[in-house]
Structure 1
């Protein structure tokens, strides 16, 4: 039985381009982001991958990415479940702030700690650990059982919500996952074992 799970981070968003902390705010894709999403769909098409169900966040940059991918695959109208459990990490008081301005205001070291530590949240926001505490239960309850039942599943979400899933799937430590970069618009193809472990992983980055 095939147990296929594809994770893809949304294409570049308008706030990515402006170097802003985005979190739960809802900007759409840039022209480049649209191109990245279309390219992701083409890569999956080249591998002759299609899906039985899709999951995404409630934020339009992830939904738009998914829509563009499914259009490339000829799967417009595929059953799609949207849930805020897959939303990006909430950056709290940093949301909407330019990352360079944040460094000037709070200091380079403090901003680095907020961005790159596992369990230190920015003021009013979430750490990666807190993000994982909402994404992983959702993954284990709603997504993983469908993969293990033989459904081919695609998840279009965000850098940090996906990072928490990658950490769990690949058995990475907090230190290892913080160094793991997920490129925008690049699918990661997992084939899972019957107990939910990873049999193989293919990163479709060029």
Structure 2
């Protein structure tokens, strides 16, 4: 018997999604397509009659912007939006800024798939020589975290994303769901995948094949123990969703230079 509804949403397409680069903690706004994806998502949720009581986002602009556009399209701009670094995208370390297809050509598709999708493999850490190091760690938003800036990650596996996300989930999100509030988490591919792994009990091996396209809302119906009562539902046109999933999966494939 379904007692609670929880919605997960990977933000709309960002500029670096379009360029097939590891964006991670570099702050990016949505692309034109990403804005449309977020608006379409809001319209779909409104048509289906859903109403949110609270929205959680990361502290990265693409996640926040997506939440705003969704709420605007739903006519629910007044709904509170709570931001937390613990919902940030996975920290891809020294891979940040690199093109996935070019890396697949250089290192092989299997290696890139391991870096992108495996549960417990951490990519090489970012250091001060990295072109985006200062842009990330000098950003004022990281002075607002509940840990000192020196303790923030320099690279993460999906397991490490789940480790930093779970305390926030348990302390802040779960109590709101238990109050009967309908919650939207507008976050990122990996923070949403990590949470799905936890809620659905997905194995370390099987999580590698879970793909979330940008801008597609995921509905989870949960029982009183916050366990799913049915498989997750990706809402919208199923043919378009399958095409979007394939597009994400193909990002890690080597493309011969033309």
The bucket for the TM-score relative to the shorter chain is: over 0.9
Alpha-carbon distance in 1 for matches of 2:219, 2:114: 30
Structure 2 alignment gaps of length 5 or more: 126-154, 238-258
| The one of 233, 244, 247 aligned to 1:202 | 233
CA distance in 1 between counterparts of 2:121 and 2:185 reads 26
CA distance 1:202–1:100, change in 2 (3 Å): closer
- Indicate the structure with greater strand content: 1
* Mapping 1:105-120, distance limit 5 Å: 105-120=106-121
Backbone CA RMSD of aligned residues = 1.5
| Alignment TM-score, normalising by the size of structure 1 | 0.94
Q: In terms of mean alpha carbon deviation, does 193-202 or 100-109 score higher? A: 100-109
| TM-score, normalised relative to structure 2 | 0.76
Q: Does 1:144 align with 2:180?
A: no
2:180 matches 1:176: no
Aligned equivalents of 1:113, 1:203: Cα separation in 2: 25
Q: Which residue of 2 aligns with 1:102?
A: 103
User: Mind listing any 5+ residue stretches in structure 1 that lack a counterpart?
Assistant: none
Kindly report which structure 2 residues correspond to 1:12-23, keeping only aligned pairs within 5 A, or say none. 12-23=13-24
Cα distance, 1:107 vs structure 2: 4.1
Instruction: State how far apart, in whole Å, the 2-side matches of 1:176 and 1:77 are.
Output: 38
Q: Could you give the per-residue CA deviations for residues 95-117 of structure 1, whole angstroms, max 9, x where no partner exists? A: 01111332344444332221122
Aligned partner of 2:70 in structure 1 is 69
Superposed structure 1 runs of 4+ greater than 4 Å apart: none
Larger Rg: 2
* Alignment partner, residue 147 of structure 2: none
